[in-house]
Amino acid sequence: MKEKNDMTRVIVAALLGISLIASSTVYAGEKTVTLGVPGMYCAACPITVKSSLEAVPGVIKVAVSLADKTAVVTFDDTKTAPPALMTATTNAGYPSAIKG
């Protein structure tokens, strides 16, 4: 009976381990950050900011608001990070900073 209980524990532990690995792999890298982009002042500005951010490898989604002067960026943090996003907007002529 002890062997059966030990085997059951091993199987349960293995299944839990696989489940944890699978779930962390799927969601571990996705992050969202809001950047303040104070230099946006016309209807063309958000288009330029959005294009510059979408060109960064690892960016998944970008939503830019002229009214709020923000860019909300969802990205894979195994491929990029906020400094790269801020560099992209700055290089496009729109310096940005993390809004906290």
According to DSSP, residue 96 is labeled: -
Is 5 a residue whose pLDDT tops 80?
Answer: no
| Paired strand residues for 73 | 33, 62
Which DSSP state fits 27? H
Q: What is the mean pLDDT of the chain?
A: 84
CATH assignment, 29-98: 3.30.70.100
Contact 47, 95 (CB under 8 A): no
Per the listing, tokens 């209807």 go with 43
Q: What is the pLDDT of residue 89?
A: 98
| pLDDT tens track for 19-65 | 444 444 455 699 999 999 999 999 999 999 999 999 999 999 999 99
pLDDT of residue 66: 98
Q: How many whole angstroms separate alpha carbon 100 and alpha carbon 6?
A: 50
What pTM, to 2 d.p., does this model score?
0.72
Contact 82, 98 (CB under 8 A): yes
